[in-house]
Chains A and B, each alone.
Chain A
Amino acid sequence: MGQSAAQDSLRVFNELDSVLNVKYQADPAGALTVLQRLDSIASFLGQDSLKMRRIADNARVMVVLGFADDAMEGFFTSLKMAEKLKLPWHIAKLNYNIAIAYQTMLGDYTRAYDHIKTAYNVAVSNKLYKDTTFYNYAIAENMVMQGKTEEGIALLEENVANAKKTNRYIMILGGLETLAFIYYKTGQNERSYNCMYEVLPYLPAINNDYQYLVCYIHIAEMAVETNRWDTAVRYVQLAHKYAPIVNSADWYYELYSQEANIYYHQKDYRKTLRAHSRFSRYKDSVLKKSYNNKIAALTAKYGLEKKQAQIAMLQKDNALHTATVGQHKMQRNATMLASTLMLVVVVTTFRGRMNRKTKDMREAFSRELIRTQEEDKQRIAREMHDGIGQNILFIRNQVAMQADDESKARLIEALDSTIADVRNISKDLYPNQLDKYGLAAAVNALAEKTMEMTGVFVSADLEAIAATMTPDVKIGCYRIIQECITNTVKHANARAIRIEGELQKDRMIIVVKDNGKGFDVGTIASKAQSSFGLLSMDERARMMGGKLDIDSSAAGTIITITLPLAANAA
């Protein structure tokens, strides 16, 4: 490798890294493809610090996508690397990232506090004074979240005052915005509005489009809260001017919904309607985007693994440079932000900022839900089978012992059908063969039953992997396979389904194929109802530390479940 090639690559790495800073907020799936390139460069250069940065970046994208586990894992891995490499700036920043993730994604303010403190201490002991103010802001916000509102506000005000003395504009802006958020959160809308208004004079000095946008929308938001309708209209319109720089459906959604709200209060119903119709359009696309993002992200993320050998691509890839040039404007903004604010908090409206936590908690909750549902199902199945079932069987047998009369036959008939119901429900709730005879037997029974009921030919060969499973993995795989079969039978109009298991060195793979008419993953994902099954399959695969890939075309659907063996053994 020539010296200049390495320098070139490093430069591209840095440039792409900055592009990423803007991109991962507006377009996380796109960010992952940028990451893929960074990955290639990092392995090409073989520098640990670059690898560390890449892992950290990846974790930041995971924050935006709401994958708390992946984010945390990435942050901690890169933190360990940064500590080993003795890079204080990164150590501080990563601790900060971890703190924010704890705070916004997991609602764990205590842990968040520890990590911000660490970040702060590292910054102080390494004389990274430029950053300490910012950490103080985070500490203050954390205090407020933990109920120490007055202390938090005092700390913030003190730091903002210091920043004003030294004319550090970005810090003034960050502080005032945080303060405004805290006032808003604690119901002091008037103060919040004043804080945002105070930011205005500093904007030209910072001269950053993104900050204009953030500031304008916050002002509009607080103007609405304080019934300053004319001001609200003015600032929403100003915000519109800057919206294209992030060009994200989420932003347009926020803007138009705010606009609709404002015009409604001004009783301008024609404009309300217009804004409303636009906001509805974006609402759909926001939902759709978040699903698509997740799917694209999963594809990209796991695509990464397959492409380790693509280092050679680097020398040839001119497109890389072209892409970088095309991003120059964003890059300028991004570099500036990244170097000063270390902006990793997802910037959104205040309302969004409060909602985000609930959204992420909702996802964690949905996982927990699957887990507890599974436990409940097993428990109910056991109780039905062993308790209710046995009792009904006893009753049936007692009745059978009675002398014949006309009611006996009817009773027996009713009891028999009840017994059959109990059996079926219990089996649906939890296939008891799974514990006793394993996944292969349970799936074979499911296959036979499906063939009998539907006429679709179903065959399975899972012998290769069946021996290696823990109970959790067994039921997880069974449920995914069950969902696949149900979907195929219901929607795909297929003639056959084939299920195969394969054991590789460090993982096992289950493939479920059908020859039905297929479906469009994107379209299905955008329909809340039908996507629920897909999402829950995906969620289950992730719970087992694995992944789920869907490949569907007019010739049929192939669903691949990949599970790590290490996770399974644990």
Chain B
Amino acid sequence: MQHKVIIADDHPVFRTGIREVVSSIAGMVLCGEAQNGLEAYQLILATLPDIAILDLEMPVLSGLDVCEKVLSEKHSTRCIILTMHKERRYFEDAMQKGVMGYLLKDNAVDELVLCLNAVAGGQQYVSAGIEHYLTAYNRQDGLPDEVRARYDTLTPTEKIIVKLVSQSITSQEIADNLFVSRNTIENHRANITRKLGVEGKNSLLKFAIQYKDIL
């Protein structure tokens, strides 16, 4: 079975490189190229590809904008984002918008085969070097909805406190780090416990340790 692929990147030279790789993969057929987000969106509507490889930063519409539109219109096209950005914030944003593949341009050529095959098979793919983002993101995403919802009601400071608690740091040390009194931290802890709806002795510590690697 052939998978239809389109490419969108405003950088012609880079597009050439991607084109060469895609064309060389068995089972993939290139059915169009675009040089900005809007063209990419129109191309997707016109050709309904299985996979769209989208540069994150493009004129008119960004790769994420395209991905969001395509998903909201319930097209079956799966999106792979191609980017230079390694920062977690960018990755999480992409995941939330429903991206299936997050590919760093650093090793795009090496990984494109793996990525395309994974995404064609319905798997998520994230570039080597930042795979741990995906693990954390999925575990976080795998939190029971209720816990997730409760956790999201915490303020940034409260979240920092939970994180520090998960590293077994004492209230006094937390207080020093945040430039407040120990009492304030105790109050915060009480509030956090209430917001998270956990009960009992050391309940916050238990919670923090349970979800340690996703906080």
Contact = CB atoms under 8 A, between A and B. Distances in A.
Contact of A459 (B105, B106, B178): B178
Contacts of B105: 390, 393, 397
Nearest to B18: A397
Interface stretch (B82-90, B117-125, B202-210): B82-90
B177 A457 contact: yes
B17 A394 contact: yes
B93 A495 contact: no
A459 B160 contact: yes
A397 B17 contact: yes
Nearest to A427: B87
Size range of the chain B interface in the assembly: 20 to 34
Contacts of B57: 386
Given A390-B105, A423-B86, A463-B155, A515 B179 contact: yes
Contact of A445 (B14, B84, B87, B160): B87
Contacts of A496: 176-179
Nearest to B93: A437
Interface string B96-116: 000000000111111000000
- Most central of A390, A401, A463 by chain B CB within 10 Å: A390
Given A461-B157, A515-B176, A400 B89 contact: no
A401 B21 contact: yes
B84 A498 contact: no
Prevailing SS type, chain A contact patch? helix
A262 B21 CA distance: 81
Prevailing SS type, chain B contact patch? helix
Contacts of B84: 385, 389-390, 393, 423
B13 interface: yes
A441 B14 CA distance: 29
A401 B106 contact: no
Interface of A: 385-386, 389-391, 393-394, 396-398, 400-401, 416, 419, 423, 432-433, 436-437, 440-441, 445, 457, 459-461, 463, 495-496, 498, 513, 515
Interface of B: 11, 13-14, 17, 20-21, 57, 84-87, 89-90, 93, 105-110, 155-157, 160, 176-179
Closest 5 pairs between A and B when the two form their complex, measured CB to CB: A397-B109, A496-B177, A393-B105, A461-B156, A498-B179
Given A390-B84, A496-B178, A498-B178, 16 more contacts: A394-B11, A394-B13, A397-B108, A401-B17, A401-B109, A416-B106, A419-B106, A423-B86, A436-B90, A437-B93, A457-B177, A459-B160, A459-B178, A461-B155, A463-B156, A513-B179
